[in-house]
Amino acid sequence: MLLALPDGSQVSGTEVLLHACCAPCSSSVIECMLQNGMRPTVFFCNPNIYPFKEYEIRKEELKRFLREGNVPYFDEEYNHEEWLAKVHGYESEPERGKRCEKCFLFRMLRTAEYAAKHNFRWFTTTLSSSRWKDYNQIVEAGRSAAAVYSGVSFWEQNWRKGGLQQRRAELLREKQFYNQLYCGCEYSLDSAIKKQKR
C-alpha cells in the first residue's frame, strides 16, 4: 500500500512516532511504513493492560517483532493505578463505550506529549488496525491529544484499509504471535471470561 501524509509532505524518510498496542496490531502497520521508506519509532504506552504478567508478555512479543526490522522503541512507564483513576466511574461500560474513549485519550495524550518533547511532527496509533475497536473513538482521541501539544499532528490513517487487515492476519500466522484473548484491561478480561462460561 502506498502511504500519503495528510499535508502532502514526503513519506519516505519521514520520522513518525507510532503508538503500538501489541505485536499483532503493529505488524502490518510497521511493515507498510518500512516498505514506504518511513522511519517509525515505536512508543509502547499501554498501562491499561492487566495483569502485569499479560502486559509483559504483550510487550516482549512486540519487541521480538521490532528486533527483526531494527525498529527503535521507547517503553513508557506502566502505571496501572493512574489509568484506573482515569476510567473511574466507567468501569461497567461495555467495550466501545465511554471507558474505551477515556482509555484511548489517556494513551494518545501520552503519545502526543512524547512526540512534542522529541520533535516528532506526526504521531499515529496501531489501535486503529483492530476491527474490534471503534475507529471514530480513536480518531477523536488522537485529534484531542494533538490539540494539547503544539507542533504535533495526529495522522488519521485507517490502518485496516489497503489490504493491511488481511496482511495482519497473515503475519499473525507467520510470526505465531501470542494469542490475546481479551482487549487488555480487567473489565475486558471479566467480559471475556463471562462469554466463555455461557
Summarize as ranges the residues that interact with ligand SF4 (CB under 6 A). Answer: 48, 95, 99-100, 103, 183-185, 187-188
Q: Contact 168/162 with Cβ under 8 angstroms?
A: no
Instruction: Considering the complex, state which of residue 33 and residue 108 has its C-beta at the smaller distance from ligand SF4.
Output: 108
CB of 102 to ligand SF4, least distance (A): 7
CB of 144 to ligand SF4, least distance (A): 16
Which uninterrupted H or E stretch holds 44?
strand 39-44
Helix (H, G, I), strand (E, B) or coil at 150: coil
What are the C-alpha distances in Å from 198 to residues 52, 100, 135, 167? 27, 24, 28, 32
Place of cell 471479566: 190
CB of 103 to ligand SF4, least distance (A): 3
Instruction: Considering the complex, state which of residue 116 and residue 133 has its C-beta at the smaller distance from ligand SF4.
Output: 133
CB of 148 to ligand SF4, least distance (A): 20
CA dihedral sign of residues 192, 61, 39, 147 = positive
Instruction: Considering the complex, state which of residue 176 and residue 179 has its C-beta at the smaller distance from ligand SF4.
Output: 179
Instruction: Considering the complex, state which of residue 66 and residue 100 has its C-beta at the smaller distance from ligand SF4.
Output: 100
